[in-house]
Amino acid sequence: MRARTAFLAAALCLSACTEGKSPLAPVDPPGNTDEQPSEPLPATDVLGNGPETARPPPAAEVEPAPVIIPVTGSAAVVGLEEGARGLSSVSQVDVDLTVGGVHGKGTVEVEFVSPAGHAYERRSSVVEAPPEVSHTVRFSLPVAGTTVATTGMSGTWQVRFFLDGQPLTTAAFTLDP
């Protein structure tokens, strides 16, 4: 009897099928007589009022990237004439440092290095200017009546500049014997 019941169930299932369609396929709504599949329903916004439409993501407030002005420095030896480079004729050597891009306050240091390669003198100055403004600072190395003249420290001097402890730029000048 069980075999007969199973056979009848299988036959019933197969008789409900039409060619090309599975008996488990969704059923078209009543009144739809054409063979075209029905159109899917539009998505519904369950939290809103009506059909969901494609919405772009909300525009994020994009702040412009801040313009970072790099720190720059250039040095120039001034007031040292070609003919007056001798230790006996030079009273002092002036070096101008032009620095730009300083954010807030900055400490500029100068180091005068003798021709023998030893640090002779070091000084500092505070610079305060907006980053977009260049600022010039003058440093002077006294020569006449100092150890430079009395011990004959002739040759090429190096001038090193630092901003807040970081190397910035260099310059050089020569004092003749």
- Give 56-107 pLDDT, tens digit per residue: 666 777 788 777 888 899 999 997 766 668 888 899 999 999 999 998 899 9
**Is 62 inside a domain boundary?**
no
Specify whether the CB–CB gap between 72 and 99 falls below 8 A.
yes
- As a dihedral over the C-alpha atoms of residue 9, residue 10, residue 11, residue 12, rounded to 10 degrees, the angle is 50
Which residues, other chains included, contact 69 with Cβ-Cβ below 8 Å and sequence gap of 6+?
A: 100, 101, 131, 132
**Is 90 inside a domain boundary?**
yes
**Is 45 inside a domain boundary?**
no
**Is 85 inside a domain boundary?**
yes
For the chain, what is the domain count? 1
Specify whether the CB–CB gap between 94 and 76 falls below 8 A.
no
- pTM score: 0.62
Using alpha carbons, select from 77, 138, 142 the residue that is nearest to residue 108: 138
- 147/177 Cα distance (integer angstroms): 13
Amino acid identity of 36?
Answer: Q
**Is 126 inside a domain boundary?**
yes
- Give 95-149 pLDDT, tens digit per residue: 999 999 998 899 999 999 999 999 999 999 999 888 888 999 999 999 999 999 9
Residue range of the domain that includes 113: 72-175
CB count, 10 Å around CB of 28?
13
**Is 168 inside a domain boundary?**
yes
**Is 83 inside a domain boundary?**
yes
- 45/48 Cα distance (integer angstroms): 5
**Is 67 inside a domain boundary?**
no
What does the chain come to in residues?
177
| CATH number, domain with residue 136 | 2.60.40.1930
